[in-house]
Amino acid sequence: MNYRFYNARILTMATTDIIKGELWVQDDKILYVGEGGDAAAICQSLSIESILWDREIDCGGNLLMPGFKNAHTHSAMTFLRSKADDMPLSRWLNEQVFPMEAKLDGEMIYHLTKLAVLEYLTSGITSIFDMYLTPETTAKACVEMGMRCVQVNTTSRQEDFEEALMQMEERYHTLNNYDPLHSYFIGFHAEYTCSRALLERVAEMAHKYHAPVYGHLSETKAEVEGCRERYGMTPLQLMDEMGMFDYGGGGYHCVWMSDEDMDILQKRNLSVITNPGSNTKLASGIAPISAYLKRGINVAIGTDGPASNNCLDMFREMFLVTGLAKLREEDAAAVDALEVLKMATVNGAKALYLPDTDVLAAGKQADLIMIDLYQPNMQPLNNIAKNLVYSGSKQNVKMTMIRGKILYENGRFTDAYDVEEIYRKANEIVRDLC
């Protein structure tokens, strides 16, 4: 379909300046972003004779911007929302999460992922970086729902060693060719859930395919101390010694990182995905975001899963990124809101290796959102970009478009979804599991 959005404020994120004008979408891509004016002249500048609109949308002065990139999540953990709360990470994993996950099957994960997608759309999230147990059914759910999804393998010692590696390699081929909305990375769960031999084989696979690798890194102080006891070095130092990140990638959480670790992040040009909501709820610590930014390290933002957060809300995550950094540094100027907005959009696209979704520009993917500026929390319009971080909320998301399709608008999901059935199925699965 072809859309013309007019009478809009536009935050392209190529800069943080806001322009007033129009944005045109043709099929799955952005055709034009600019001040608008004479349509015939614009068409001529685009080397097209004319364009027929399926829909013209008066934005009424509201804001168009790139969709948020949720750079770390476990979507199907919706079934554990508010079922595994108020305990530290080790107990949370071993007493609640792992035993319950052992009861899951692929069909359950398919339905539970659909529930998460609904929540992503209400938060203006247009891409997710998912890590969970049955990537095939997660991919199926996301593609059917129109959600752009990157997945990473969750290899751990709980699985059969050789079978897990063979399965990961097979998925690397099949799921990277599954659908334009989907891609798949080599990865591992965490150092503390993998043997050294398994991690070394993952690194070998990364070298075989010249591929980036992602995994949980230095989430808790106990995790780092345990790795030092086992190997005499931090998780990142251990993996760098193996050549794990020779072709890029990065880590989730990265709360307890030494100066030497940060040197490695810089040297390997790795991304850090911070998860302040989850790290706060599990009392894991506050990541050194200011230090990462000073070193030029790419920092993106993730919600983590809906069992450890418990919501999939990028507005809350953005506020926590800057708020906790200010507390950590005892500096109210630490981690400027504009930098945080970049983390949630441009930096997230870099971490997910989705360069066509980073900014609003001609030729880029039509992954965009409309923000309702005419609600009390967004007025007055002193600084719209900073308002998004400091006072914005999910209630301001007026529309979410992915790949040129409007999936959520004015509080309603596309008619292609059977929302009540998604809710019913999720509750049925929870009843059966618990």
Tens digits of per-residue pLDDT, 388-429? 999 999 999 999 999 999 999 999 999 999 999 999 999 999
**pTM for the complete prediction?**
0.97
Radius of gyration of the chain (CA): 21
Amino acid at site 158:
Q
Closest CA to 339 of 391, 298, 287: 298
- Average pLDDT (117-128) is 98
Closest CA to 401 of 26, 91, 52: 26
Q: Which fold has domain 2-66+359-413?
A: Urease, subunit C; domain 1 (2.30.40)
Domain 68-355 has CATH 3.20.20.140: yes
Q: Is 42 left (phi over 0), alpha (psi -120 to 50) or beta?
A: alpha
Q: Could you tell me how many helices (H) and strands (E) the chain has, helices first?
A: 17, 17
Q: Please state at what angle helix 135-145 crosses helix 106-122, rounded to 10 degrees.
A: 40
| pLDDT tens column, 376-398 | 999 999 999 999 999 999 999 99
Contact status, residue 120 vs residue 149, Cβ threshold 8 Å: no
CA distance 24 to 73: 31
Alpha helices by DSSP H, 243-313 = 259-268, 276-281, 289-294
39, burial (CB in 10 Å: exposed 0-12, middle 13-18, buried 19+)? middle
| Parts of the chain belonging to CATH 2.30.40.10 | 2-66+359-413
Contact status, residue 84 vs residue 96, Cβ threshold 8 Å: yes
Closest CA to 311 of 281, 273, 344, 286: 281
Torsions phi, psi for 385 (to 5 deg): -60, -45
pLDDT of residue 160: 66
What's the distance, CA 402 to chain centroid?
14
pLDDT of residue 88: 79
In which band, very low, low, confident or very high, does the pLDDT at 41 lie, cut at 50, 70 and 90? very high
- Average pLDDT (246-273) is 98
Q: Does the pLDDT of residue 183 top 80, yes or no?
A: yes
The encoded tokens of residue 215 equal: 């995994």
| Parts of the chain belonging to CATH 3.20.20.140 | 68-355
Sign of CA dihedral 351, 312, 255, 293: positive
Instruction: Specify the DSSP element, H or E, that contains 100.
Output: helix 98-101
Closest CA to 149 of 116, 127, 168: 127
Q: DSSP of 18-66, one letter per residue?
A: EEEEEEEEETTEEEEEE----HHHHHHHTT-S----SEEEE-TTPEEEE
Q: Does the pLDDT of residue 8 top 90, yes or no?
A: yes
In which band, very low, low, confident or very high, does the pLDDT at 87 lie, cut at 50, 70 and 90? confident
| pLDDT tens column, 205-215 | 999 999 999 99
Closest CA to 130 of 273, 268, 240, 256: 273
